[in-house]
Amino acid sequence: NAGVTQTPEFQVLKTGQSMTLQCAQDMNHEYMSWYRQDPGMGLRLIHYSVGAGITDQGEVPNGYNVSRSTTEDFPLRLLSAAPSQTSVYFCATRLAGGYEQYFGPGTRLTVT
């Protein structure tokens, strides 16, 4: 049981490049979400999903796309990276109606 996994652990991009941050879970959790963590700002919700085929925007969705084709996977796509997207990204999951969020180890992204 791997829990919540994220790849890559670190990534450096040039402005304008695209990439996908991967998140996978093996706990059969319905709810999955993406947060970004910036100094002095805590964690802010980017997008979330309440099940396969259902996604919605969080607090800071601009510049990011998501999809949820399976229960297990919830990738986060940056279509054209900008320096403002330099951050640490966390994926989190939980059961429907549950309270405890399970966090992945995070991805540190730097956009130059």
Site track 49-88 with other proteins (rule: CB under 8 A), x = hit: -xx----x-x-----------------------------x
Cβ proximity of 93 and 35 under 8 Å = no
Q: State the nearest-atom distance from the C-beta of 16 to other proteins, in Å.
A: 27
Contact flag: residue 30 with other proteins (CB under 8 A):
yes
DSSP code string of 65-98: EE--SSSSB--EEESS--GGG-EEEEEEEE-TT-
Residues in the chain, overall count? 112
Give the Cβ contact number of residue 12 at 10 Å: 11
Q: State the nearest-atom distance from the C-beta of 38 to other proteins, in Å.
A: 10
Cβ proximity of 16 and 81 under 8 Å = yes
Contact flag: residue 2 with other proteins (CB under 8 A):
no
The nearer residue to other proteins, 65 or 103, going by C-beta atoms, is 103
Binding site for other proteins (CB under 8 A): 30-31, 33, 35, 40-45, 48, 50-51, 56, 58, 88, 90, 92, 96-97, 99-101, 103, 105-106
